[in-house]
Amino acid sequence: MQSASYLISIVKGRGVLQVYIDFKSPYAFVALRPCWQLERDYGIAIEWLPLTLNIGSYLGTAKVDDTGKVTSNNRSPRQWQAVRYAYMDARRYADSQGLLLKGTQKIWDSSIAAIGLLWATDHARNRAALRDYTTMVFDRFWQRQLDIENAAVIAAVLEEAGISASGFSDYLAGPGRYHHDQLQEQILQAGCFGVPTFCINSETYFGRENLPIVRWHLEGEPGRIPHKAYDTVLS
């Protein structure tokens, strides 16, 4: 098995932007379109990388039924506070973009969709295909219309995005899983712990509120570092 150490390096050339996402994160979902906007605005190719969160390890776990009733959980009151605020906040961002964001009913294993992202990055014939894969997975998952734990479902999305899924099944069971898992180790060691995370010019930024700072880097860092804010140039 080839070592995955070549996969990432946080120290990149100037202007190279890495974006770390996890399909099960509402904050990554609402950052997706502004990130693709960066590609268009600056003529760059973002290096998209999966950061598969172990949410249970820091926010506890919970399941809710179709009515929203909690059926099981091991969360503390302040973890519930954090989760509820995060969903409310992310939903505000989603609303402002005209997106539907339905809260999840359990903590999903998003690693198959993440490995699909690695596959899509290697096999997409153009940026549009990669964009379609990320958009379709995010949009449908947050509409509760996509089972991201089902390999066949992810393969079908790849095909729908115009990316051949021939060989994906073997990749998922072998090198794809290995690369994904190695990547998670490297990402944590590199200091990335949540999504979306942006790495550019040797700096690491966590949270979509840093998009104006990412733009500042892409524009050559004129003047003082800007404040955190919304990304107001989405078109």
CB 71 to other proteins: min, Å: 19
Residues that bind other proteins (CB under 8 A): 34, 54, 56-60, 74-76, 78-79, 81-82, 84-85, 89, 93, 96-97, 188-194, 203-204, 206-207, 209, 224-225, 227-232, 234
How far from each other are the two terminal CA atoms of the chain, in whole angstroms? 43
| Closest CB to other proteins among residues 57, 67 | 57
CB 12 to other proteins: min, Å: 17
Q: Name every residue whose Cβ is closer than 8 Å to that of residue 129 and which is 6 or more positions away in sequence.
A: 120, 161, 162, 163
CB 139 to other proteins: min, Å: 16
CB 126 to other proteins: min, Å: 26
Handedness of CA 203, 207, 208, 209 (dihedral sign): negative
Cβ pair 121, 48 in contact under 8 A:
yes
Q: CA-to-CA distance for 48 and 25, rounded, in angstroms?
A: 15
DSSP states along 122-163: HH-SSHHHHHHHHHHHHHHHHTT---TT-HHHHHHHHHHTT-
| Closest CB to other proteins among residues 39, 159 | 39
| Closest CB to other proteins among residues 42, 206 | 206
CB 115 to other proteins: min, Å: 19
| Closest CB to other proteins among residues 33, 123 | 33
Residues in the chain: 235
| Closest CB to other proteins among residues 60, 103 | 60
